[in-house]
Amino acid sequence: MTKKNIPVKLNETYTATIRDLGIHGEGIGSVDDFTLFVPGALPGETVTARIVAAKKSYAQGKLISIEKPSPFRTKPECPAYHACGGCQISHLTYEGQLAVKEQRVKDVVSRLGGFSEDLVLPVLPAENPWNYRNKMAVPVAQATGGPVIGYYRQGSHQVVPIDGCLIQEEENNRVLRFAKGFMARHSIQGYNEKSRKGSVRHIMARTGDHGEVMVVIVTATPALPFAELWVKEMRELLPEVVSIYHNVQKSPGNVILGETLHHLWGKKTLTATLEGLAFEVSPFSFFQVHRSQAEKLYDKALEYAALTGGETVIDAYCGTGTISLCLAKKAKKVIGIEIVKAAIDDAWKNAEFNHVENVEFHAADAGKLMPELYKAGLRPDVIVMDPVRAGCSEDVLKAAAAMEPKRMVYVSCNPATFARDAKILAGLSYTLKKVQPVDVFPQTMHIETVALLERAE
């Protein structure tokens, strides 16, 4: 369709029926078969929207009115919801969220993978879709009236001020409110991304077992203003805080933590339990932010691995070893592979901390190491893969299939890349048996999946 015959015009209003949601939670409809994105609209709704942007293949509209509302539409509980970009679908009931996510997995499994959508099971829901995040990292900016702490407005780096976040554990919200008051009382400046002036860039908090909290104050300056007072007042007002750090991040960009870390007070690590295993969590550690749902995810991975105690398992993309250690409880031996050396260092520490001896970890490219292990005589019974959002490299998929394990368990945080990879594995003699979505991040469009693939005879 050329620009001349685009059926919509800027600032004109049009009526459209919404059929789906995009990756950011925006409604997707069409005008005369021309795609229209309408933030705030829900599937099944008929809406009127004013065109605010028109491209060659799609347009974006501003929601003006809802002619026919969805039965799943609800009033968001968060007062900052329409400005903040942290959550995307809180205007959808939780039942509606689960339905949308399940359909999204079915669509990509069918469309991108070429599999039957009947392989997708109902989403495993969260018992509580609120106050579930045990890690908070909020940006700090400087406004005319003083420092601003909150979350970025969607699609921008403008900080929306908040007093608390409904998907954070309350211990983290208490840290946020303390930081806001402390910086105002002592006239401490937030960071200005454009001028690169100011001091405090982020406030990070992590909640571990028994409600214990670690706080990390990230600054652009080498020194933390009023460092001793931060510790003194936090200890007085937040007795749940057991560890306080100062981190220096001088570099521009989106990376929250810098390399320089100063331990100001208290414990150096938190303890966080997952699947009966205890993990030491430091400021740099990766740990699942929604523990109860992560346990459901891991339980399903263990179920699909079908271990009886005599198996050798490879955990590709093992990260800090959380899945590896869970597998080790039921396997003869687990070999974890991860290209990030710092993560492997943590994996070894986690194994030692939990007295798990039937694991070994390698800091290597799984696509290169697995063929070497195969040549050395290793024949794994099961291979587990839990890659980043980009999915597995084709080298890893080919290396895994060449080792001819009976089963593969694929844990994914991106259904689209999983479907792509499952299609490749299908061409390498592995049959997709089932896909279990797990709602690890309620109120957002993110959905995780666990899939079982078996070697075809």
Which residues have a catalytic role annotated? 413
The set of residues, in sequence order, having a beta carbon less than 8 Å from that of 433 and lying 6+ positions away, is 119, 451, 452, 453, 454
The set of residues, in sequence order, having a beta carbon less than 8 Å from that of 402 and lying 6+ positions away, is 370, 371, 374
Distance, in Å, from the CA atom of 169 to the CA atom of 342, rounded to the nearest integer, reads 27
Distance, in Å, from the CA atom of 457 to the CA atom of 438, rounded to the nearest integer, reads 30
The set of residues, in sequence order, having a beta carbon less than 8 Å from that of 79 and lying 6+ positions away, is none
Q: What are phi and psi of 312, to 5 degrees?
A: -100, 130
Distance, in Å, from the CA atom of 435 to the CA atom of 414, rounded to the nearest integer, reads 13
Q: What are phi and psi of 106, to 5 degrees?
A: -60, -45
Q: If we measure between CA atoms, which residue out of 446, 449, 445 comes closest to residue 436?
A: 449
Alpha carbon distances (Å) from 197 to 159, 223, 250: 16, 14, 11
Distance, in Å, from the CA atom of 196 to the CA atom of 160, rounded to the nearest integer, reads 19
Cβ atoms of 367 and 339 within 8 Å: the answer is no
* Residues paired with residue 165 on neighbouring β-strands, in sequence order: none
Distance, in Å, from the CA atom of 266 to the CA atom of 263, rounded to the nearest integer, reads 8
CB burial of 26-47 (b: ≥16 within 10 Å; e: otherwise) equals bbbbbbeebebbbbbbbbbbbb
Tokens 């049959």 belong to: 431
